[in-house]
A and B are shown apart, each in its own frame.
Chain A
Amino acid sequence: MTGANTALNLTVFSVFVLLTLYIVYRASTRNVSASDYYAAGSSFTGTQNGIALSGDFLSAASFLGISGAIAVNGYDGFLYSIGWVVAWLISLMFIAERLRNTGRFTMGDVMAFRMRQRPVRAAAANSTLVISLFYMIAQMAGAGGLMALLLDVHSKLGQAVIIVVVGIVMVLYVLVGGMKGTTWVQIIKAVLLLLSVTMLTIFLIGKFGFDFSSMLDRATQRSPLGESVLAPGVRYGATGLTKLDFLSLALALVLGTAALPHVLMRFYTVPNAREARKSVVWATWMMAIFYSCTMIIGFGAMALVGTDKILDAPGGENSAAPLLAYQIGGTVLLGVVCAVAFATILAVVAGLTLTASASFAHDVYANMIKHGEAEPRDEVRVARITAVCVGVLAIAGGIAANGQNIAFLVALAFALAASANLPTLLYSMFWKRFNTRGTLWSIYGGLTSCLLLIAFSPAISGSKSSVFPDVDFAYFPLSNPGIVSIPLSFLAGFVGTVLGGDEADPEKQAEMEVRGLTGLGSNLR
C-alpha cells in the first residue's frame, strides 16, 4: 500500500461518484409524489430490485470484512456468509410477498395494519431509526478505516474529512434521486461488486490450476495456525461460553436479515407480489455466488499474501482483499477493488438514510402527527429534511466511532432486527389473536432487552477490544445478545397478547390475511 496509487484510486472513485450522481439526476425527473420518493412508484422489475437488494445487503463489512475474517480465522470467518445466505429463505417464504401486498412504504404499514395506528407506528419508527442508525454508524466508521488503508490517509482529521464527504454524497443521492435514484446506485454497485469479485476469484483459482484443495494446502502453510484454520474453533471454539456466543451470532444472522428495515422497504419498489418473489430469487443467487467467491478470496489471501502480512497492514483484517488484488493484478486491480469498496459503503449508507427518513416522515409525521391526512408534498418535504438530519447524525456518529471495533455494531443491528421486528412481523401475519399490546411488548421488549444486553456485554466494557476497556460493567457474558433477546421478544409478544388489552379486530385480520396472500384490496396486480 504505497501512496503511488492514491491518485488512481481517487480517480476511479470520483468517476464512479460523478457517473452515479448523473444517473441519479436523470432518473429523478418526476420524483415528486410520496410513492415516487419512497418506493420509486413501484416501477422496478423483480430482476432489477433483486440486484438492488443484494446491493443494499452487501456492505463493506461483507466484502472486506468477511474475506478478511476468512483470511485470518479461516473456517470461523466463513460462518457469517452461511447465515446471511440461508436467511433469505425466511424472506422468500414468509416476508417478501405478504409485505408487498399489505404495506405501501414502510415496515410500520404492515405492523400497524390491524392494530391501533399511533402507538404501533411510533414503535415501528423507533425500531427502524435505532437499527438504521446503528448500521449506518458502523458503515461510516468503516469508511474512515478504509481510507487509512486505501488512500493512505492516516490522520484522524483526514479520515473525518472523508467521512463528511461520504455523508454529503449519500445525502445528495437520497435528496436528488429518492428511491429511484438510490435503487439505480444499488444496481450499479451490485453489478460492479459481483463482477470484480468473480474476476478476482477466477484469476486467483487459476493461479492454483483451478484446484481448490491445493490452494487450501498452500493457505495452511502460510498461516501460523496451520491445519486448524480449515477446522471450526479458531475464533469461537475456546470455551463453552464462546461456543454459546457463536450460537447466538448464528441465530441473529439467520433471523435478522429478513427483518432489516432497509431490506424490507426494497420490496415496495416492485409492482406486485410475484415480482417481489422474483427479487428474492435474484438476490439469493447473487448472494450465493458472492459469498462463495469471498470464501475463495479469503483463503486465497491467506495463501498468497499470508496472515501475518495482512494483520500488519494499516487496515488489519479488512485489508485482505485489497492486498490480494495488488498481489495478483497490481495497482490497476487494486484501484478497482478500492473503488468498489467505496461504492459499496456509499450505496449502503444511502439506502439506510432513505429508510430512516421514510419511516420518520411516513409513520411519525404523516400518520401520527397529521393523523394520516398530510399533504403528500409536505410528507416528502419532511422526508427530505429528515434525510439531511439523519445524514448529519450518521456523520457525527461515524466520526465518533472511527477506529472503534465496528463488527459488533453490524452484528448488533442484526440482533436488534431479529429481536424487535421479526417476531412482530410473523405474529401479525400468522397469529389471529395477536393484538396491539402484544405488538408493543414484542417490539419494545426485543429492542430494549437487546440494547441493555449489549450495553452490559464484553463488547462495551471489560476487555481489551471493547469500547471502554478501562471500566468493567460487563455483567452479561456474551457479546451477541440474540440467543436471549430473540426468544424474549417472542415471549413478550405472546404474553402481552394473552394478558389482554384490545381484542384483535377479526375483520382487519381477515383483510390482512386475504390481502397478504392475494393482493386483493391493495390495487396491485
Chain B
Amino acid sequence: MTKALPSVSRPATPGFATFEKPRHSLLIDGDGEPDFSAIQTSEEFRALKRRMARFILPATVLFLAWYVTFVLLSAYAADFMSTPLFGTVNVGLTMGFLQFVTTIVITMAYSRYSRRHIDPQVDRVRALAEPDEELA
C-alpha cells in the first residue's frame, strides 16, 4: 500500500514536475485528468479486465447453476430431496446448507484472488495516469 498523494500536485504535463525522467509517459490530458479512452485501450487495462473475467465468469456460472439446480430440484423433485442422508437430515436440507458453504467459499476465493491478481494490476493501471508515487 502506498501513501496517498494529494491530487492537486498532479503535474499538468507528463513528467513536468519531477526531476527524474518518468519511466513511462503518463496517459493524462492537458488538464492533468486521466485520458480514459487511452487507458481503456491500453494493454494494462485489457489485462485487468481479462484477469477479472477469468475469475468472475466461471464463478458466476457455477453459483447460479448450483442455485438454480437447488431451486428446480426443490420444486420438481421433492421425492429426491426428501431422501434421508444422516438420520433425519435429508438431501434437500443438506444441499440448502451447502449453498451457504459454497457462497462463503466463493466469497473468500474472490477476496483472495482479488488481493493477489486484481489489486496489483489495478495499481499498474493507475500508475499509467498518476505521477510516480515512490518519489514522493
Chain A residues at the B interface, C-beta cutoff of 8 Å: 75, 78-79, 82-83, 85-86, 88-89, 92-94, 211-214, 216-217, 220, 227-228, 230-233, 236-237, 243, 246-247, 250, 254, 274, 277-278, 280-281, 284-285, 288, 291-292, 295, 506-507, 510-511, 513-515, 517-521, 523, 525
Chain B residues contacting A88 (CB-CB under 8 Å) are 103, 107
Chain B residues contacting A285 (CB-CB under 8 Å) are 104, 107
Chain A residues contacting B71 (CB-CB under 8 Å) are 79, 246-247, 250
Q: A237-B78, A243-B76 are contacts. A78–B93 as well, Cβ < 8 Å?
A: yes
Nearest Cβ in chain A — how far from B108, in angstroms? 7
A292 CA to B99 CA in the complex, in Å?
11
| A232 contact from B4, B48, B63, B75, Cβ within 8 A | B75
The tally of residues in B whose CB lies under 8 Å from a CB in A reads 52
Would A232 and B126 count as touching, CB distance under 8 A?
A: no
A518 CA to B88 CA in the complex, in Å?
50
A446 CA to B82 CA in the complex, in Å?
37
Q: Is the interface of B mostly helix, strand, loop or mixed?
A: helix
Considering the complex, give the chain B residue whose CB is closest to the CB of A273: B122
A510 CA to B34 CA in the complex, in Å?
11
Would A521 and B36 count as touching, CB distance under 8 A?
A: yes
Chain A residues contacting B97 (CB-CB under 8 Å) are 292, 295
A490 CA to B68 CA in the complex, in Å?
19
Query: Other CB < 8 Å A-B pairs besides A285-B107, A288-B100, 16 of them?
Result: A82-B67, A85-B100, A88-B103, A89-B59, A89-B60, A93-B60, A93-B110, A211-B87, A228-B82, A230-B90, A232-B78, A232-B81, A237-B75, A243-B75, A510-B37, A518-B126
Would A507 and B92 count as touching, CB distance under 8 A?
A: no
Contact with A along B102-115 (1 / 0, CB 8 A): 01101110110010
Chain A residues contacting B119 (CB-CB under 8 Å) are 274
Q: Is the interface of A mostly helix, strand, loop or mixed?
A: helix
Chain B residues at the A interface, C-beta cutoff of 8 Å: 4, 7, 33-34, 36-37, 39-40, 45, 48-49, 52, 55-56, 59-60, 63, 67, 70-72, 74-76, 78, 81-82, 86-90, 92-93, 96-97, 99-100, 103-104, 106-108, 110-111, 114, 119, 122, 125-126, 129-130
Would A284 and B89 count as touching, CB distance under 8 A?
A: no
A507 CA to B40 CA in the complex, in Å?
10
Would A214 and B87 count as touching, CB distance under 8 A?
A: yes
Would A510 and B40 count as touching, CB distance under 8 A?
A: yes
Nearest Cβ in chain A — how far from B5, in angstroms? 9
A254 CA to B68 CA in the complex, in Å?
10
Nearest Cβ in chain A — how far from B44, in angstroms? 10
Considering the complex, give the chain A residue whose CB is closest to the CB of B86: A213
Would A517 and B75 count as touching, CB distance under 8 A?
A: no
Chain A residues contacting B81 (CB-CB under 8 Å) are 75, 231-232
Would A507 and B76 count as touching, CB distance under 8 A?
A: no
Q: A75-B93, A281-B107, A520-B39 are contacts. A217–B88 as well, Cβ < 8 Å?
A: yes
Nearest Cβ in chain B — how far from A113, in angstroms? 12
Chain B residues contacting A233 (CB-CB under 8 Å) are 78
| B63 contact from A86, A237, A291, Cβ within 8 A | A86
